[in-house]
């Protein structure tokens, strides 16, 4: 994943794609920030692909919220800039699951842990996060799990 990001960064530099280059630098900065915070906690300094996917997912969500706020404030040009950054970030995320696929994944996770009540929600979400980080919006999946367990 890191190699893929570095290759894209070099390509953006070569092709003089300023907007893409800026976003890729933001991604690298977010990854380095996470590594520094782990180092401060005495943990392993390098992070794996799943952690990078989580960072990218968080960055997309932040930009979606910013774009919405800019639109509400009448700042369309800033909203468009946020959306352009989302497109660049999503290039590195796996394909998002459709609602039907997410529902099937939730049911499979419930069956896997033998969940019977809402108290088992944490186990189900843990399985889903382990298998589908970057592929589903866990904010939307949480209520789906609650409905199936409730």
Q: How confident is the model at residue 37 (pLDDT cuts 50, 70, 90)?
A: confident
- Residue 79 to residues 63, 64, 73, 125, 148, Cα–Cα distance (Å): 9, 9, 10, 32, 36
Sorted by where each begins, the domain ranges of the chain are 2-90, 99-149
d(CA 36, CA 40): 6
Q: What is the pLDDT of residue 80?
A: 96
Could you tell me if 109 and 121 are in contact, meaning their C-beta atoms sit under 8 angstroms apart?
no
Helix axes 18-40, 76-90, angle to 10 degrees: 70
Instruction: Give me 117's structure tokens.
Output: 């009540």
**CATH class of the domain whose range is 99-149:** mainly alpha
Q: Give per-residue pLDDT as tens, 66-98.
A: 999 999 999 999 999 999 999 999 999 888 888
Average pLDDT over residues 98-109: 88
Q: What is the pLDDT of residue 83?
A: 96
**CATH class of the domain whose range is 2-90:** mainly alpha
d(CA 109, CA 125): 8
> H or E segment at 55?
helix 49-72
Q: What pTM, to 2 d.p., does this model score?
A: 0.73
d(CA 51, CA 33): 12
């Amino acid at each position: 994943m890191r190699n893929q990001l570095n290759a894209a960064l070099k390509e953006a530099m070569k092709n003089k794609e300023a907007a893409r280059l800026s976003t890729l630098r933001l991604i690298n900065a977010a990854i380095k920030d996470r590594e520094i915070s782990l180092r401060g906690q005495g943990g392993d300094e390098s992070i794996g692909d799943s952690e990078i996917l989580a960072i990218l997912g968080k960055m997309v969500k932040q930009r979606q919220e910013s774009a919405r706020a800019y639109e509400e404030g009448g700042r369309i040009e800033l909203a468009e800039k946020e959306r352009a950054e989302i497109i660049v970030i999503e290039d590195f995320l796996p394909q998002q699951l459709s609602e039907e696929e997410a529902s099937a994944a939730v049911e499979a996770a419930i069956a896997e842990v033998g969940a019977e009540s809402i108290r088992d929600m944490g186990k189900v979400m843990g399985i889903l996060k382990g298998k589908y980080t970057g592929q589903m919006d866990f904010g939307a999946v949480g209520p789906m799990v609650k409905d199936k367990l409730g």
